[in-house]
Amino acid sequence: MAVEFYKYQGTGNDFILIDNRELKFNKNDTKLVAQMCDRKFGIGADGLILLEPHESANFSMVYYNSDGNLSSMCGNGGRCIVHFAKFLGLIDKEARFEAVDGMHYALIEDSIVSLQMNDVTEIDQHEAHVFLDTGSPHHVALVERLSEYNVYEQGARIRNELYGKEGANVNFVEAIDPNIYSVRTYERGVEDETLSCGTGVTAVAIAMHKMGLTFSEEIKLITPGGELQVTFVADENGYHNVTLIGPAVQVFKGSWE
């Protein structure tokens, strides 16, 4: 059976989007998902996302990493599925949907999607890094000369040595000024550097504030794939009203036979 798909990207983080409201896609076929995401023998993507029906929200989001396995929350993917829902006529300017980490609310204006992320109340600060969960687990470390840094080698080492089989995403950060940070991310599941990571830049923005490197609650993050913005409200109980803001773009559509 042919599967109609749409290719999306959010600051270079790219995804296969499928309208699965009729629940016809074989969700247990991890080999199929991995094959579709393969950049040499398939469509090519960092992940595959199914848009599915929901009893009370506008839709459900089901996210697979490019290795074919179900994964934790994807921020850029969340922004892309909101754009996809508008394209399908499910929403106008506002969306409420359920992902693996719970309910999310979003606004879309033209191609810019503002996605509300979960509150963050637990942050582990270490001497050389910060660890926190923004829907996916993230290791955040400051480095110098980020453009020359071996993100693949060091990211893979940290992902495996510190976090084992389950793994964590690893973000390397360089400050440009107190409110602007350059970020490169090694993503588990993809097992490589991606051009952007939504939950990753969210983790970086919160980590920089928690470390006292910025006092702003509006942070600009520059990734190899483009610019994102993270806003939040910080108090003694953690970080609330966390919002990831950036573009979502439909690139092309096709049919997988």
Q: Give pLDDT tens digits for 28-58.
A: 999 999 999 999 999 999 999 999 999 999 9
Sign of CA dihedral 210, 211, 217, 219: negative
What are the backbone angles phi and psi of residue 91, rounded to the nearest 5°?
-135, 170
3-116+248-256: which CATH number, 1.10.1380.10, 3.40.50.2300, 1.10.150.120, 3.10.310.10?
3.10.310.10
Give the CATH fold of the 123-246 domain.
Diaminopimelate Epimerase; Chain A, domain 1 (3.10.310)
**For 162-194, what is each residue's pLDDT tens digit?**
999 889 999 999 999 999 999 999 999 999 999
- Global pTM reads 0.96
What are the backbone angles phi and psi of residue 198, rounded to the nearest 5°?
-65, -50
State the Cα–Cα distance between residues 201 and 10, nearest whole angstrom: 13
Find the catalytic residue in 120, 170, 197, 208. 197
Active site residue 197: yes
**Length in residues, the chain:** 257
Q: What is the mean pLDDT of residues 75-84?
A: 98
Dig out the tokens for 231 from the structure.
Answer: 């806003």
Domain range summary for the chain, segments of one domain joined by +: 3-116+248-256, 123-246
**Quick one: pLDDT at residue 1?**
79
Alpha-carbon distances, residue 155 vs 143, 194, 195 (angstroms): 12, 11, 14
State the Cα–Cα distance between residues 106 and 226, nearest whole angstrom: 20
Find the catalytic residue in 45, 61, 74, 183. 74
What percent of the chain has a predicted confidence (pLDDT) above 70? 100
Note whether 3-116+248-256 and 123-246 share their fold.
yes
Let me know: does 186 contact 169? Beta carbons within 8 Å: yes
Q: Which residues are within 8 A (CB) of 126 and not within 5 positions of it... i.e. 6 or more apart?
A: none
Dig out the tokens for 67 from the structure.
Answer: 């290795």
Active site residue 80: no
Dig out the tokens for 223 from the structure.
Answer: 């990734």
Dig out the tokens for 11 from the structure.
Answer: 């600051």
Alpha-carbon distances, residue 107 vs 112, 115, 116 (angstroms): 8, 7, 9
Q: What is the mean pLDDT of residues 130-159?
A: 97
The residue type found at 249 is V
**For 213-231, what is each residue's pLDDT tens digit?**
999 999 999 999 999 999 9
